[in-house]
Amino acid sequence: MKIRQARMGDAGRIHYLVNLYAGREQMLPRTMLSIYENIRDFQVAVNDDDDSMVIGCSALHFTWIDMAEIRSLAVDEAAAGTGIGRALVEANIEEARTQGIVQVYAFTYVTGFFARLGFRVVPHESMPRKVWMDCITCPKFNCCDETAMVLDLIEGRQPEPFDLAQVSIPVVKIEGRPAGRDVPGGHELHQVAEDLEQSATTRHTRPLRLERRESNEE
Ligand SMILES: CC(C)(COP(=O)(O)OP(=O)(O)OC[C@H]1O[C@@H](n2cnc3c(N)ncnc32)[C@H](O)[C@@H]1OP(=O)(O)O)[C@@H](O)C(=O)NCCC(=O)NCCS
């Protein structure tokens, strides 16, 4: 087995692996478009004798000057338990170090796996707002039950504070509020919803309205 940077030709296998586990609710799904757009995020594990046979994948996605998320980690069931998951995440971490990243994080159900690699559990509330910017497009926005885990890469340093003004805010009008202030991160989600609305107002953006057009309208 070896780890290499993903190529466009790997996208189909990445899509298959990720969505296999997503179908079992073990991770979040990815579309082909999001894989194509982010193919440079991915490392893949391939067989020694067949460089095109992807048996695992993992993505490192930069979310701030000093933070990056490890996401879409999936290992073929037939090859699980042989160190491929570890090798993939270590490749992500290595890449993060070369970029001067201070902290990598993951939202996960496999806390034991990430703990083996040195990650620690943190409250959702402690994560930078950028996480919540991603969360707004997540099907689990209302009911996130994943565990947030982080790994510090530079001793004595923490990521710089998140600056909402430097983020492009989706032009949306949030009707109502996400339910469940009492779920983990629920309170934070409410705050982000308010921040988003405030930002949309101050930037004079127009709320997105999805209206059904009558058939005789242009
Ligand atoms: C979780 C997953 C990536 C692990 O990959 P893997 O190649 O089987 O893991 P490895 O063999 O590299 O294991 C590394 C270490 O983690 C441990 N480990 C692996 N899976 C674990 C799990 N589910 N829970 C706790 N520990 C686990 C191993 O025992 C090993 O420990 P060791 O270093 O002491 O020997 C893989 O099982 C998978 O694809 N699962 C389904 C998708 C998923 O849950 N992805 C994570 C989304 S965040």
Which domain, by its residues, includes 39? 2-161
Q: Is there an atom of ligand 1 within 6 Å of 82 CB?
A: yes
Half-sphere exposure of 31 (CA within 13 A, CB side): 4
Does residue 35 sit in helix, strand or coil?
Answer: helix
Predicted local confidence at residue 210, as pLDDT: 38
CB 106 within 8 A of CB 74: no
Q: Which pLDDT score, from 0 to 100, does residue 24 have?
A: 94
Q: Which residue is closest in CA terms to ligand 1's atom 35?
A: 83
State mean pLDDT over 183-199: 58
- What's the domain count of the chain? 1
Structural domain includes residue 216: no
Record the pTM.
0.83
Separation in Å, CA 172 to CA 15, 54, 78, 101, 195: 28, 38, 43, 31, 12
**Quick check: is 183 in a domain?**
no
Q: Whose CA is nearest to atom 26 of ligand 1?
A: 113
Report which ligand 1 atom has the smallest distance to the Cα of 108: 48
pLDDT in tens, 58-77: 999 998 899 999 999 999 99
166 band by pLDDT with thresholds 50, 70 and 90:
confident
CA of 190 to the centre of ligand 1 (A): 33
Contacts of 8 (CB under 8 A, 6+ apart): 36, 39
Is 167 within a domain?
no
Atom nearest to 76 CA in ligand 1: 39
Query: Residue 213's pLDDT band (boundaries 50, 70, 90)?
Result: very low
Collapsing DSSP to helix, strand or coil, 156 comes out as: coil
- CATH of residue 126: 3.40.630.30
- Band of pLDDT at residue 163, cut at 50, 70 and 90: confident
pLDDT of 156 strictly over 60: yes
**pLDDT at position 96 over 60:** yes
CA distance 26 to 100: 30
Tokens of 83: 């160190």
Let me know if residue 172 belongs to a domain: no
For the chain, how big is the Rg over CA atoms in Å? 19
Tell me whether residue 177 is in a domain: no
- Residue ID of nearest Cα to ligand 1 atom 27: 113
Structure confidence at residue 207 (pLDDT): 41
